[in-house]
Structure 1
Amino acid sequence: MASKSGSGGLREPPNEQAVLNMYEGKRSELSQIYSNITDLEMQVSEHSLVINAIQPLDQSRKCFRMIGGVLVERTIKEVLPAVQRNKDGLEEVVRKLYETLEKKKKDLTEFEAKYKIRITKQEDNKEGGNKKEGNAQGVLVGAASSSQ
């Protein structure tokens, strides 16, 4: 029986601090994925703006494009398909990141349920409110002292 509980102990973190570290790591991963999605969605938006700006123009018109840090001269006819391909590729990456995000969120929810983790937002707000007031008081005191 001791060996069964010992093998079960290997699967689970040994103490609360290890559980907390794992939980914070999972939340950090989610945050990083959100950040990556935001960045890539902004790039998709920028690609769309470029496509919409150059699409109605004459296809033989001169166009400049940055490739690997080098500005090259091309025509709109050459650049437009490349920008469209890049946009499509970015959209695919964003789609995959959303899938990964959903898996990670599900994993985090299961982790929270397994270890009965609850986020106490009321305490965070109270503590955060006190900290903000403390910071504001410090700034006001400093400002009042410097103006006298």
Structure 2
Amino acid sequence: MAGKVEGDGKEPINEQAVANIYGAIRSEINQIYSKITELEMEVSEHSLVINAIQPLDPSRRCYRMIGGVLVERTIKEVLPAVQRNKEGLEEVIARLNEALEKKKKELVALHREFL
């Protein structure tokens, strides 16, 4: 049958299936890019907050939104939590960048295999 790949133990693949797989991978790559951009904006916001409250008196009142509730704390209590959150976001961004590279390699491999 024309247009099908055989002999590798997988289902035969036609042009439409390859196009669907290619489109799905492109879609996943775009979703990862969007999530990375969103998280980078959050890291930027965290950095702004850290830079704004760091030079202030640690016993000064500070308000923080936790789960939709505004709570009163001190800068001494809030600053470490904001820094931890920022570090966590940076770790997630690093993992997403790794996943993005894997998807790009997968896309290149698919491109090489079927062109």
Matched letter for residue 49 of structure 1: L
Q: In the TM superposition, what whole-angstrom CA distance separates every residue of 1:1-56 from its partner, at most 9, and x where no partner exists?
A: xxxx866473442x211110110000000000000100000000000000000000
Q: Distance in 2 between matches of 1:64 and 1:24?
A: 45
Q: Is the 8 A contact 2:6 2:12 kept in 1?
A: no
Q: Distance in 2 between matches of 1:11 and 1:107?
A: 18
1:17-28, aligned counterparts within 5 Å? 17-28=16-27
1:34-113, aligned counterparts within 5 Å? 34-113=33-112
Q: Distance in 2 between matches of 1:49 and 1:110?
A: 41
Q: Distance in 1 between matches of 2:12 and 2:34?
A: 29
Corresponding position of 1:10: 10
Which structure 1 residue ranges, 4+ long, deviate > 6 Å from structure 2?
A: none
Identity %, equivalent residues: 68
Find the residue that maps to 1:59 and give its secondary structure: coil
How high is the TM-score relative to the length of structure 2? 0.91
Find the residue that maps to 1:36 and give its secondary structure: helix
Q: Distance in 2 between matches of 1:46 and 1:11?
A: 48
* RCO higher in structure (CA 8 A, sep ≥6): 2
How high is the TM-score relative to the length of structure 1? 0.71
Indicate the structure with greater helix content: 1
- Root-mean-square deviation over aligned CA pairs: 1.5
